[in-house]
Structure 1
Amino acid sequence: MLAISGMFFLCFGLLCPCFHTRRKDASEDPVLAKDMNSTGSSEMRSDSDRTPRISFRVPPSPSRFSPSPRSSAMGPLHLTLEQITKITQNFSPALKVGEGAFGIVYKGKFPDGQVVAIKRARQEYCASLQAEFSNEIALLTTIEHRNLVRLLGYVDEGNERLIVAEYVPNGNLREHLDGQRGNILDFSQRLEIAIDVAHGLTYLHLYAEKPIIHRDVKSSNILLTKNLRAKVADFGFARTGPTDQSHVKASVKGTFGYVDPEYLRTYHLTPKSDVFSFGILLLEVLTARRPVDTNTRRSLDERVTIRWAFNKYNQGRIREILDPRLQEVVNEEVLKKIFDLAFQCAAPTRHDRPAMKEVVEQLWEIRKEYGKSHRRAEAIR
């Protein structure tokens, strides 16, 4: 995770090809106009994790936008360092499950059997990360959704800053795209993951107690359950957004390659900044390429994924954009629609980007069309 300064504005021309996109009228909301009553249960009880590997049906209701019921087993608790030291066996390297720029993630198990993830800030960063730590605690305490990692507790003691969250056992999306977790994700699984992330972001933007902008949507911050349901993690850079259609003034933070170029230029942060990051993420999911490829053997246009993909798209060479490890032949119209959506989200200016709510609706329609085309193909065989 890298804090991005204004100097990266120089890369705007590389990251964003110049194109204009279609926008759906935000008032056309036939699906989400329905009742938003919450159904389902906490991910910790795994009820929301029972989605088949290939799912062609649209969810029966839009209830996945609304919060999942808060588990009564353990709310956000101010824990002690002694408790965490005990369940991590004094932060044993054997229990390390992840590592980022500012900290290490450990796996722990409470006496009642509950497995948790503990994010421990590196001590050299503790002072500088105090604001991010307090921010993450404040925001995570207010949100509850099956596609967002849930806060369970925290430690703020001396020079230790630790966050205790639900344990998501199947690594992050980037690891799966790199083939580090065994089987290569098929197209249906990638589509479901994109829908899950879009649901989580829609909840943050529209249905949280206050609008929340994540500011660091990227593949390594998308965690996967055993059944490949996606959960958005790491709210250290998140902040509350505007309650109207305006923006908030904010210093630029995020990860290079995913940051909204308009936010980078103007310091005007809106929910559409997350939409841009989601567009880049969607391209990453489909191509398995990172937003910026460091392979110097490739040309500059090839090394910037959005530029490379957009050029291929304009040349009608859509299938060449897909991850070459995908064995499945996906209907051309389905590919056109999902890549078109990715480019809409990653438009250079926020006024050309759809809202996350619209993104979810379009993904649902793509999933329906994909299901129909898949069944037709199966019937021909």
Structure 2
Amino acid sequence: MKILGLFLLLLNLFSFSFSRKLLSFHDEAIVLLKLKSSFSDPNGVLSSWVVSDTSSNHCSWYGVSCNSDFRVVSLILRGCDDLEGSISRSLHLPDSSSCSSRRLGGVISPIVGDLSEIRVLSLAFNDLRGEIPKEILRLEKLEILDLQGNSFTGGIRVLNRADDDKSKLDPLKKSGFTSFFGNVRKLMSLDDEDEASPSSDDSSSSGKTGLYPIEIASIVSASVIVFVLLVLVLLFLYTRKWKRNSQIQVAEIKEIKVFVDIGIPLTYEIIVRATGYFSNSNCIGHGGFGSTYKADVSPNNVFAVKRLSVGRFQGDQQFHAEISALETVRHPNLVMLIGYHASETEMFLIYNYLSGGNLEDFIKERSKPALEWKVLHKIALDVARALAYLHEQCSPKVLHRDIKPSNILLDNNFNAYLSDFGLSKLLGTSQSHVTTGVAGTFGYVAPEYAMTCRVSEKADVYSYGIVILELISDKRALDPSFSSHENGFNIVSWAHMMLKQGKAKEVFTKGLWDTGPQDDLVEVLHLALKCTVDSLSIRPTMKQAVKLLKRIQPSRL
């Protein structure tokens, strides 16, 4: 009984912890959406800030970076200033007037004060107006606040002392500087007239009706010295910020690491310009690691650029080491990593572009090729070969941990390529959250991985089995038609139920069963179900799956 009680206690603690994470996840998204509603956004800068069944979480939204608990730690929505415009012209980029399309209007909603974990807030060089909300001063972890280049009526004053009474920090009291950049907790305050003006009692008790000329001269001299020192401090802060921004621009232009010689130079400005400066019109997909954009560098050189969420990854050294390790991972059924860029403000990976789209769209459309057994078998075998290579031939082995149809890409000849391999390994143990608290997508994550966070190659095998069931049927991993069943009922439960009721042919998408071969279809169904059993020892390896699929391989396309 004591063991049972301890188990129930641990289960309650796990449920409470998981519920708190889900709650914070939901609350942060709501705060961002309310903040979005206070902005005017005629050019769709924040078009990715939406919540739907198919969209990624708020941590992959434009300008947003989160910690491992989905709490927002950085919000950078900068427009363009004159400096950026001059840099653009020197690089032969569109002039700064085109940057106006990236500006936000409206006001800053007081809801921003609910982002309690935020450390960096930059809304500089937009068309924001009104007062700076005093709720910003509630953000105790805020380290960098950059609001320059707007038209605020309230202001912030920069002081040269280490701390101040929080009760005096009222941004609505009187106007001052309309922008601020620095250590917010140490340098932010506002004027306090009451403290500065002496009382009438003090004046009368001194026995004087005025000030002597030497006293006036001393006060004026001290005031001038304080003013000059204040100007020098502000000039120092601005110069250091400008120098840092300039260094970032230079680093981003030069630091493109290329693994494959494609015959043309690839620089930061070439890639970013080819994506339309990461415009929504060039966005071809969203995922837990970030969004992917099509980059037309030239008619014969088209790439897919995966823009990663800055702040999701551990230190730069680890990122460079892990990405460089992927340079040696080469297989005909893996998307080729061309190169990457990584800096404090931007991270992206450059892959070869595949015009056939992803498997998720292929399954949804169910055109004639999607009903042909030869095509479906080829896709299943290609993915199995890619996973077998990652598990068996790479040293150390590479675990994908997020296998799903949207991460499987196709070319025009229905060759399948596994993408996003190795990215999960870039996340630290405490930062491997994508959807369920582990690296992966709900519905495809192996049960033992979801419960214990202990992962092996058998977790990839489970996800592969789910993909095969989706490939041969008309059901999704968590199909809406399963809602009438008990909680936890998924495509695996449904396939087992069909077999038990003697309705195996109803598992297959319409038209596939009739064209056959039926014996081979049943073998693939059994393979998928074997891949998804709870017992890890019963699940086959991907090498065994490849062997079975090759044995029933139809004639070539």
- Counterparts of 2:527 and 2:484, CA distance in 1: 26
Shift of 1:294: 3.1
Structure 2: state its 5+ residue gaps.
Answer: 1-13, 19-258, 427-431
1:127 aligns with 2:311: yes
Map of 1:322 onto structure 2: 508
Shift of 1:168: 1.0
Q: Deviations over 1:14-34 (max 9, x none)?
A: xxxxxxxxxxxxxxxxxxxxx
Q: Deviations over 1:295-322 (max 9, x none)?
A: 4764348951110111111222111000
User: Equivalent residue of 1:227, what SS?
Assistant: coil
Distance 1:286 1:304, change over 3 A: same
TM-score (norm 2): 0.48
Q: In the TM superposition, what are the counterparts of 1:185-264 in structure 2 within 5 Å?
A: 185-235=371-421, 237-239=423-425, 252-264=438-450
Query: Is contact 1:133-1:236 (8 Å) kept?
Result: no
Shift of 1:81: 3.1
Shift of 1:105: 1.4
Shift of 1:119: 1.0
Deviates more, 1:134-143 or 1:273-282: 134-143
Deviates more, 1:282-291 or 1:320-329: 320-329
Counterpart of 1:285 in structure 2: which amino acid? L
Query: Is contact 1:272-1:353 (8 Å) kept?
Result: yes
Distance 1:135 1:346, change over 3 A: farther
Shift of 1:128: 2.0
Aligned-residue Cα RMSD (Å) equals 3.2
1:118 aligns with 2:305: yes
User: Equivalent residue of 1:73, what SS?
Assistant: coil
Counterpart of 1:155 in structure 2: which amino acid? H
Deviates more, 1:292-301 or 1:353-362: 292-301
1:342 aligns with 2:528: yes
Query: Is contact 1:301-1:308 (8 Å) kept?
Result: no
Higher relative contact order (CA 8 A, sep 6+): 1
1:73 aligns with 2:262: yes
- Counterparts of 1:74 and 1:349, CA distance in 2: 49
Map of 2:271 onto structure 1: 84
Deviates more, 1:171-180 or 1:216-225: 171-180
Map of 1:175 onto structure 2: 361
Shift of 1:111: 4.8
- Counterparts of 1:320 and 1:295, CA distance in 2: 14
Deviates more, 1:264-273 or 1:351-360: 264-273
- Counterparts of 1:279 and 1:112, CA distance in 2: 38
Map of 1:22 onto structure 2: none
Distance 1:7 1:195, change over 3 A: farther
TM-score (norm 1): 0.68
Counterpart of 1:339 in structure 2: which amino acid? L
Query: Is contact 1:171-1:224 (8 Å) kept?
Result: yes
Shift of 1:338: 1.0
Counterpart of 2:312 in structure 1: which amino acid? S
State the aligned residue count: 291
Identity %: 34
Shift of 1:266: 3.1
- Counterparts of 1:111 and 1:130, CA distance in 2: 34
- Counterparts of 2:344 and 2:463, CA distance in 1: 35
Map of 2:470 onto structure 1: 284
Distance 1:193 1:332, change over 3 A: same
Match of 1:100 among 281, 284, 287: 287
* Max Rg structure: 2
Distance 1:178 1:139, change over 3 A: farther
Counterpart of 1:127 in structure 2: which amino acid? G
Shift of 1:187: 2.1
Structure 1: state its 5+ residue gaps.
Answer: 1-5, 11-69, 241-249, 373-381
Distance 1:189 1:136, change over 3 A: farther
- Counterparts of 2:440 and 2:476, CA distance in 1: 15
Map of 2:36 onto structure 1: none
